[in-house]
Amino acid sequence: ARPRVGYYYSGKSPHEVVAAKIRRFKVGELQSRPVVVGEATSIHDAIITLFLEDVGTLFVAREGGILEGVVSRKDLLKIAFGTGDIRNLPVGVIMTRMPNIITTSPEEPAWEAARKLVLHEVDALPVVEPVADNKNELRVVGRFSKTTVARLFVEIGERR
């Protein structure tokens, strides 16, 4: 545990201490397990998966976990609300597709990832890593969501 001292030298204003602390966390320390489906999964089955796994966003990947798309609860509500045949429509037709997906990586500061969530108005980002032999392919390794940020915020505010 950190020793308690009455004062300390930091060269920083209290605001900077707080900002620096908040910017120190890495996505990789906080990310959750990604919930992944294939592009051919029916929208019906995707909705079932969303409820069973209790997440707000599904990532669509092919063999090897290569990211192909993202489908949100909002996308699924829009289609379930329509008259489409969700048993025979694949998620591929409604997903946001690469390269239009906002992603993060385990090494990115969580603060930057939170900024992406806010700026791009999405609920979750896939945490990805490059695939050695192909710069255009990304492997999904985690999930970073507004829930992740809320949990971190609560944890930082705990008195220890």
The helix or strand, by DSSP H or E, that contains position 119, with its residue range, turns out to be helix 110-120
Which span sits near a second copy by CB under 8 A: 13-21, 31-39, 61-69, 93-101? 13-21
- CA torsion sign for 102, 106, 107, 108 is positive
User: Shortest Cβ distance from residue 131 to a second copy (Å)?
Assistant: 29
- What are the Cα distances from residue 58, in Å, to 24, 74, 142, 143? 28, 11, 11, 9
Q: Which tokens belong to 102?
A: 């906002």
Residues 36, 12: Cα–Cα separation, whole Å: 43
User: Shortest Cβ distance from residue 135 to a second copy (Å)?
Assistant: 29
- Number of shown-chain residues binding a second copy (CB under 8 A): 52
- Considering the complex, state which of residue 61 and residue 124 has its C-beta at the smaller distance from a second copy: 124
- CA torsion sign for 125, 92, 35, 128 is negative
> Do residues 144 and 104 lie in contact, with contact meaning Cβ atoms separated by under 8 Å?
yes
Work out whether 99 is an interface residue with a second copy (CB under 8 A): no
One symbol per residue from 125 to 154: x for binding a second copy (CB under 8 A), - otherwise; what is it?
---------------------xx-xxxxxx
Note the residues at the interface with a second copy (CB under 8 A): 2-11, 13-19, 21-23, 44, 47, 50-51, 56, 73-74, 76-78, 80-81, 86, 111, 114-115, 117-118, 123, 146-147, 149-154, 156-160
